[in-house]
Amino acid sequence: MSAWYVRKEGSPEVLALPTAVEVLTGLRDGNFLPTDEVKGPTDATWRAIEVHPTFAEAAEYIDPPPPEVADDTHLDMNPLIDVCLVLLIFFILTITYASIERALDVPPDTADEKGAPQKIDFKDIKDRIFKVVVKMDGERPVIKIEGKEVTQDQVFTEMQNIINTTTRKEMLLDIDKDVPWGVETAILDAAKGNKVHNIINNQRK
């Protein structure tokens, strides 16, 4: 029995139809495109439906398929994700820098001459500063505020009492080189918490 064969252009998959009427019906219904290939019972080669003598006239009246319409509801999230990652990195770096700045309160260089540190006469500033001395007694750091020994937990309260009852709003910190950094950081935090106007930090000896 003779048959008509239809396939997509260059496709190995072939659809067999019993008559040319079936091919024409599929073309009109949109099941086939004019560019699809057809091969009849007497055809030696494949030809596009639109150029086949049997269907060429009918193919002229077939409207081309409508173009694909872009989906306006689609939201590309990639730019938003990129912005969020940049903000995340920025916040991480900002928090890290703030933590380092809080832990290491390095006084500015106020040298009168290059290479020569400024000399401070304690008599000239004793009316406006209170002195904090931190030394090591074996393995234990000893903290003295104006000669009074206090524990690390009492530093904030003792500073607060001095600031509230005297005119001393600045601090001179004399700290030994062997004192742990955590102790120095706690003292500096207490000074900042009491809004000490200025902190004079002697070099670790």
Whether 92 has a pLDDT exceeding 80, the answer reads yes
Whether 105 has a pLDDT exceeding 80, the answer reads no
Kindly report, residue by residue over 3-60, the tens digit of the pLDDT: 888 998 878 888 888 888 888 888 888 888 888 898 888 888 999 888 888 888 887 7
Instruction: Spell out the residues 6+ positions from residue 189 whose beta carbon is closer than 8 angstroms to its own.
Output: 102
Residue 77 is encoded by which pair of tokens?
A: 């999230």
| Best CA proximity match to 50, nearest among 66, 67, 64, 68 | 64
Report which secondary-structure segment, H or E, holds 132: strand 129-137
| Best CA proximity match to 200, nearest among 124, 147, 141, 136 | 124
pLDDT-wise least confident of 29-33, 74-78, 113-117, 173-177 = 113-117
Q: How are beta strands 4-7 and 47-48 bridged, if at all?
A: unpaired
The residue with greater pLDDT, 1 or 65, is 65
pTM of the model as a whole: 0.40
DSSP string, 17-65: ESSHHHHHHHHHTTSS-TTSEEE-TT-SS-EEGGGSTTTHHHHHTSPPP
H-helix segments, 76-170: 78-103, 122-125, 155-165
Query: What's the mean pLDDT when you consider all of the chain?
Result: 80
Question: In whole angstroms, what is the distance from residue 136 CA to residue 179 CA?
Answer: 6
